[in-house]
Amino acid sequence: QNRNEIKNGTILRLTTSPARNAQDLHERIQSSSMDSKLEALKDLASLSRDVTFAQEFINLDGIFLLTQMVESGTERYQKLQKIMKPCFGDMLSFTLTAFVELMDHGIVSWDTFSVAFIKKIASFVNKSGMDTSILQRSLAILESMVLNSHDLYQKVAQEITIGQLIPHLQGTDQEIQTYTIAVINALFLKAPDERRQEMANILAQKQLRSIILTHVIRAQRAINNEMAHQLYVLQVLTFNLLEDRMMTKMDPQDQAQRDIIFELRRIAFDAEPEPNASSGSMEKRKSMYTRDYKKLGFINHVNPAMDFTQTPPGMLALDNMLYFAKQHQDAYIRIVLENSSREDKHECPFGRSSIELTKMLCEILKVGELPSETCNDFHPMFFTHDRSFEEFFCICIQLLNKTWKEMRATSEDFNKVMQVVKEQVMRALSTKPSSLDQFKSKLQNLSYTEILKIRQSERMNQEDFQSRPILELKEKIQPEILELIKQQRLNRLVEGTCFRKLNSRRRQDKFWYCRLSPNHKVLHYGDLEESPQGEVPHDSLQDKLPVADIKAVVTGKDCPHMKEKGALKQNKEVLELAFSILYDSNCQLNFIAPDKHEYCIWTDGLNALLGKDMLSDLTRNDLDTLLSMEIKLRLLDLENIQIPDAPPPIPKEPSNYDFVYDCN
């Protein structure tokens, strides 16, 4: 059927068909000879990556056979184990590897496994001194079970406790640590809402945070991408516990909640005990309270509870204020008294600014959003304190007060101050401080005057030429520049890009490569074993798609491969990187770009091939940069100045370097 696709001069290698291979291995792994069984399992582990083979092997009920071997294996080989311990370990390791690979293709549903199998896998994780490869595969299987099936989540959660997983984090093997955190994240993610807080309390009890800080973040080795991703997921899931409070409105009738506001007032103003409440003093106290609430900076002086009815930030803002007042009492009293002694319009309203700041911090940390599948943006400083969000708030509220003073702000400038504070916080976070103190010192250096300088220099770089002659010149130059960008995009498509295949788990990345032919007529693509180093030879890309057959290019939610995925998979980040080529009658080629830059290059290049406009952010930025550069060049005063054709010669090296001064 497909012999026309074989290129002339290609060397053909005859090999057994996947069906034959599957049949053969199915028999060999049931052999009574230990050696041939071991050999067969080893072959199975490597062949299972191939989807055609996997399909054939699964059709022979291969997965059921493997689970049976795992379940019964331990009893049957108990005696053998004493004699042939290494052999037994290898067998189990190959069996589990084959199982993971076969399940990764998503052919068989996870719901079909027995409790005995889950118990067996859990026992490998719970046993100490287990072989690393067995432990790694077992953790991977547990993670997939939890993520892919609600029933299995409940069974796994009964079998495995956080306490049994913690010791694996205290080892030195980063792979095992990564898989362990992945299992904890999966259990956390799938836990029903009412159980999440309970689980967080167990994690706090077992000191998970400090163990991760000591054995992972501060260990003497670099953190790889997969580990960074799992730490990011844990960070997001931890902050998402705040969502409940963030979306809870205050009930003005609830006495316990009103007591918190009384407590804030008491800590700030009541050094002496209250006088006895008589009918006369009742009115007095009411007016005194109103005056105090005004000093505390609430918008509603008479009933401050009304300030907390907006969600977000809801009750979370009040929790933060109480934490600040109790844990950092001196700073709290100083801020409130300092502001109450200023003129009315110059005071920084503590209540209002705390509520707005809490809302802003929730936006920065994306509280309530699901973790992205590709992001690995974790902040080490949030792992240094059990109440890191509250501490983060305490640092930022003091910063807000300081910036308010530096800006000499009045109540009309409230939003301007908030914008500056947001910029200060974002810039300090982008440096990834390793502790809260380091974050604090970074903010010290980012004073309002410093922010103004940064803004000024950024404005200088984006000089805006708005006069009419220059706008006309821009219009005249624009088509050439767009043509230049188009050529660059097409050249990048000719070089090609390596894409990841989207599978149910992020592990064992499978890659494929796609490139445009030099004559811009055909797209060549094909699977790769691993991420390519250097150039990919043309003949390794077997499939092709003529550009003339392309009907349309769709992105994001419109892509067919984004519609199929479950709610969890339809992740914002992945959606932003997805695009598909539609051709023939409902055929498509689906892509997930490695990053935003490649996404823009490919969508622009494909649109250029189809004669459409290039609309990506990258094109806009490139156009702005090249246009402003070209205009600056054309506006240079070059009257009577000879521009050389050749670059100036590089001067000879000096005879010695005695003049170099080392500033360090």
Handedness of CA 533, 536, 542, 544 (dihedral sign): positive
Q: What is the pLDDT of residue 271?
A: 53
Q: What is the pLDDT of residue 437?
A: 92
Q: Is the pLDDT of residue 251 over 50?
A: yes
Among the ranges given (94-98, 322-326, 344-348, 612-616), the one the predictor scored with the smallest mean pLDDT = 344-348
Q: What is the pLDDT of residue 390?
A: 92
The per-residue pLDDT for range 371-406, each reduced to its tens digit, is 888 888 889 898 888 888 999 999 999 999 999 988
Q: What is the pLDDT of residue 396?
A: 93
Dihedrals φ, ψ of 112, to 5°?
-90, 0
**Average pLDDT over every residue of 535-556:** 83
Instruction: List the one residue out of 130, 97, 117, 209 whose CA is nearest residue 162.
Output: 209
Highest-confidence range of 97-101, 163-167, 293-297, 658-662, by mean pLDDT? 97-101
Share of the chain above pLDDT 70, in %: 91
Distance, in Å, from the CA atom of 506 to the CA atom of 182, rounded to the nearest integer, reads 11
How many residues are given for the chain? Answer: 664
Share of the chain above pLDDT 90, in %: 13
Mean pLDDT of the chain: 82
Instruction: List the one residue out of 82, 108, 77 whose CA is nearest residue 92.
Output: 77
The per-residue pLDDT for range 299-309, each reduced to its tens digit, is 887 778 888 88
DSSP structure string for 424-483: HHHHHHHT--SSHHHHHHHHHHS-HHHHHHHHHHHHHHT----SHHHHHHHHHHHHHHHH
Higher-confidence position of 86 and 458: 458
Q: What is the pLDDT of residue 274?
A: 52
Highest-confidence range of 161-165, 245-249, 260-264, 356-360, by mean pLDDT? 356-360
Highest-confidence range of 279-288, 504-513, 550-559, 600-609, by mean pLDDT? 600-609
Distance, in Å, from the CA atom of 398 to the CA atom of 529, rounded to the nearest integer, reads 53
Q: What is the pLDDT of residue 481?
A: 92
Higher-confidence position of 536 and 212: 212
Higher-confidence position of 273 and 563: 563
Distance, in Å, from the CA atom of 486 to the CA atom of 492, rounded to the nearest integer, reads 10
For the chain, the structural domain boundaries read 21-223, 255-271+281-458, 477-621
Q: What is the pLDDT of residue 504?
A: 55
Q: What is the pLDDT of residue 621?
A: 92
DSSP structure string for 410-424: -GGGHHHHHHHHHHH
The fold adopted by the segment(s) 477-621 is PH-domain like (2.30.29)
| 3-state SS string for 361-376 | HHHHCCCCCCCCCCCC
Q: Is the pLDDT of residue 463 over 70?
A: no
**CATH for 21-223 (3.40.390.10, 3.40.50.80, 1.25.10.10, 1.10.10.10):** 1.25.10.10
pLDDT band at 361 (very low <50, low <70, confident <90, very high): very high
Query: In sequence order, what are the residues at sequence separation of 6 or more whose Cβ sits closer than 8 angstroms to the Cβ of residue 301?
Result: 290, 291, 293, 294
**Average pLDDT over every residue of 620-628:** 90
The per-residue pLDDT for range 35-91, each reduced to its tens digit, is 888 888 888 888 888 888 888 888 888 888 888 888 776 555 444 544 455 566 778
**Average pLDDT over every residue of 189-208:** 83
Distance, in Å, from the CA atom of 384 to the CA atom of 558, rounded to the nearest integer, reads 42
> Given its phi and psi angles, is residue 53 left (phi above 0), alpha (psi -120 to 50 degrees) or beta?
alpha
Tokens of 458: 């950024």
